[in-house]
Amino acid sequence: MSLITLSGIGKSFRSREGRSWVAVADFNLTIENGEFYCLLGPSGCGKSTVLSLLAGFTQPTTGRLELAGKPITGASRDRGVVFQGDDSLYPWLTAVENIEFGLRLRGIPHKERRERAMEYLELVGLRGQEAKHPTELSGGMKQRVQIARALANEPKILLMDEPFGALDAQTRGGMQAELRRIWDKMKVTVVFITHDIDEAIVLATRIGVMTAGPGGTLKKTFPVDIPGDRTRADPRYVALYDQIHTQVREEVLRAATRRAA
Ligand code: ADP
Ligand code: MG
């Protein structure tokens, strides 16, 4: 049985004027336990919509959405969510207090939750930063705290929506390496949204490209079979980049044509 199944998924929104907008249509995807799945596509194609469905924040209009064979009906601790930007940390709590917040809600005693939060803080490379408040942390550090907070709940699945989009290139590269290491160590399944092809190739075990909206759907899937360091020095990297780029560019152009029409 697959870990995640999306079968014939459609999601429509109703505008304030009462018109229906089809964000996602006939979306079919299965993800196996332990995969690092990256979803690529032009802006507005429905990537975030797919992720909110997986998170259980919204319900599909049509189709079947299952986690280990059971319908997803709402948010749950088995799915950790990290979104773009870093304003979801509580400014009045320190880094370690933010990480242990979920554990506190679950009634885990202070000593145990602090120990566990410190482990995750170290895992994301923030040892020594635990007493700082969000305003005293850089963008990259805040993003690490968010990842640690999601991991501290020991989710089966990590859902990430362009989590490094706002970071400078260097911090971003470091975070990507860190995330690959964590994924490898924790054996967590990751669904990661990005519009950056290089980011997808560096991170993923499989990459899905979506069509332009309305009615965004999965267009093509690419397995990433590049062992060792994934860099442009590897001809397999460049070949895969070109294939994906062709698919993405087609959809970006289609989206632009629709906007102009
Ligand atoms: P992406 O993340 O790929 O940029 P989204 O999933 O955010 O795309 O959005 C897909 C489409 O659905 C867009 O046209 C967007 O305007 C629309 N949409 C998303 N969420 C809502 C909502 N809550 N209400 C109305 N329309 C929405
Ligand atoms: Mg989005």
Confidence bin at 85 (pLDDT 50/70/90): low
pLDDT digits (tens, 9 = 90+) for 200-209: 999 999 999 9
**Cβ 116 under 6 angstroms from ligand 1:** no
Distance 35 CA to ligand 1 centre (A): 26
pLDDT digits (tens, 9 = 90+) for 36-65: 999 999 999 999 999 999 999 999 999 999
- Which-ligand-closest: CA of 24? 1
pLDDT digits (tens, 9 = 90+) for 124-140: 889 999 999 999 999 88
pLDDT at 171: 83
pLDDT at 168: 83
**Cβ 21 under 6 angstroms from ligand 1:** yes
**Cβ 258 under 6 angstroms from ligand 1:** no
Q: 6: which residues sit within 8 A by CB, 6+ positions away?
A: 27, 28, 29, 30, 50, 53, 54, 63, 64, 65
pLDDT surpassing 80 at residue 84: no
Yes or no: say if 163 and 178 are a contact pair by the CB < 8 Å rule: no
Closest of 123, 133, 125 to residue 95, by C-alpha: 133
Rounded Cα–Cα distance for residues 92 and 98 (Å): 9
pLDDT at 36: 98
Sheet holding 4-14, edge to edge: 20-31, 4-14, 62-67, 70-71
Distance 79 CA to ligand 1 centre (A): 21
DSSP string covering 79-96? EEEE-SSSTTS-TTS-HH
Distance 106 CA to ligand 2 centre (A): 30
- Which residue has its alpha carbon closest to ligand 1 atom 17? 23
Confidence bin at 86 (pLDDT 50/70/90): low
pLDDT digits (tens, 9 = 90+) for 139-189: 889 989 999 999 998 899 999 999 988 888 888 888 899 899 989 988 899
pLDDT at 68: 93
- 74-83, 146-155, 212-221, 237-246: range with highest mean pLDDT: 237-246
Length of the chain: 261
Rounded Cα–Cα distance for residues 88 and 98 (Å): 10
Q: Of ligand 1's atoms, which has the minimum distance to the CA of residue 51?
A: 6
pLDDT at 176: 92
pLDDT digits (tens, 9 = 90+) for 17-39: 888 999 999 999 999 999 999 99
What are the backbone angles phi and psi of residue 188, rounded to the nearest 5°? Answer: -90, 150
pLDDT at 100: 96
**Cβ 42 under 6 angstroms from ligand 1:** no
pLDDT at 35: 97
